Amino acid sequence: MADTSWSTGLTTGPTAGVTDAPARHGSPTDQQSTIRPGVTPPATASVPVKPSTRNRKAGGAGRNGGGHVVRILLRLLVIGYLFFLVVWPVSLVVLRTFAPVNDTGGFDAFLTRISDPAFGYAFGLTLTAALWAVGLNAVFGLGISLLLVRYSFPGRRLLSALVDLPMSVSPVVVGLALVLAYSSNQGWFGPLLESLDWQIIFSTPGIVLATTFVSLPLVIREIVPVLQEIGTEQELAARSLGAGAVQTFLRITLPAIKWALVYGVVLSLARALGEFGAVKIVSQGASFNGETATLLVANRYGNFDEASAYAAAFLLVLIAITALVVVTILRPSKEHRS
């Protein structure tokens, strides 16, 4: 059962709220208690099971005759929706990158556009900020997950709920919040930061803070359900055999949550690389000084330079899809069960 919590794909399952009672709309493990529905079936032994109902796959004959049509319709509906909402628009961006509407097309033109030094700076800055954010969130995320699951302390439920907070906050609100708190001239901590000569807003630390904020819950939400699942038996056994806390963590806990940690990190990375709204507010956004990849897309688009905007957007699409494909490959296959 250990692989249910990360079979949820890139977006994580419901709030990984850590509770003792299963009442929260919680992780898949909490679902078990509510799955048994109200319909009480008679004891299966006394009901002769009709042969037609054994045939799950075909959804075929007998009472479920219309089922086949429904299945096909549903399939078409879903494929159609996804095609018009995601597939075609994304492929158009790829197309427009190499055949812009009002500009020169072709691979060479694309290469010229992305070899603009501003591109190198922007993507470098984005990557730097994202790696810092992911690093901080991995380390603190791991720590917080362990604390939430393995220990009890007053306010644990509150902390667990608060950890999910960044998912519901609008990016512009994140930017505004950081400016209100840490702006050098008007922020709460302005005077303190000035005296230390630390500049947070309009400088790289501000970008890192914003990126860390928005990707904070992603690692924790992946790790917590797994920690809950695996239980403490092995860890207790190791401790009782004399292993130290660090040893136990490195040898027992970490390998068990390894994949959850990896997924959380990839999720965080994708989120961090794509942050726009918060960075727009806390960063100066100048070329070679605070312009991240996403700001580059917006700035170029706003300067009558659609082709450059599409070129940068294409690179970001490429990175996003690569991350998705990596996660899909690494995820243990669900189909092999049942």
**Residue 297 gets which letter from DSSP?**
H
- Residue of the chain from 2, 61, 86, 250 that contacts another protein (CB under 8 A): 86
Is 104 an interacting residue with respect to another protein (CB under 8 A)?
no
Q: Which residues pair with 286 in a beta bridge?
A: 289, 290
Closest listed residue to residue 207, CA positions, set 279, 309, 307: 279
Residue placing its CB nearer to another protein in the complex, 42 or 242: 42
Is 243 an interacting residue with respect to another protein (CB under 8 A)?
no
Residues 269-308 that bind another protein (CB under 8 A): 269-270, 273-277, 280-281, 284-291, 293-294, 297-299, 301-304
Q: Residue 310 CB, nearest distance to another protein (Å)?
A: 7
- Residue of the chain from 66, 115, 158, 241 that contacts another protein (CB under 8 A): 66
CA distances from 259 to 3, 7, 133, 211, 263 (A): 9, 11, 19, 23, 6
Is 37 an interacting residue with respect to another protein (CB under 8 A)?
yes
Residue placing its CB nearer to another protein in the complex, 243 or 317: 317
Is 35 an interacting residue with respect to another protein (CB under 8 A)?
yes
Is 256 an interacting residue with respect to another protein (CB under 8 A)?
no
Can you give the three-state secondary structure of 57-121, one letter per residue? CCCCCHHHCCHHHHHHHHHHHHHHHHHHHHHHHHHHHHHHHHCCCCCCCCHHHHHHHHCCHHHHH
Q: What is the rounded distance in angstroms from the CA atom of residue 191 to the CA atom of residue 184?
A: 7
Is 220 an interacting residue with respect to another protein (CB under 8 A)?
no
Q: Using CB under 8 A as the criterion, what x/- string covers residues 171-210 for binding another protein?
A: xxxxxxxxxxxxxxxxxx----------x-xx------x-
- Tokens 């032994």 label which residue? 45
Spatial neighbors of 27 by CB under 8 A, at least 6 apart, are: 5, 13, 14, 16, 17, 224, 225, 228
- Residue of the chain from 60, 120, 191, 244 that contacts another protein (CB under 8 A): 120
Residue placing its CB nearer to another protein in the complex, 184 or 253: 184
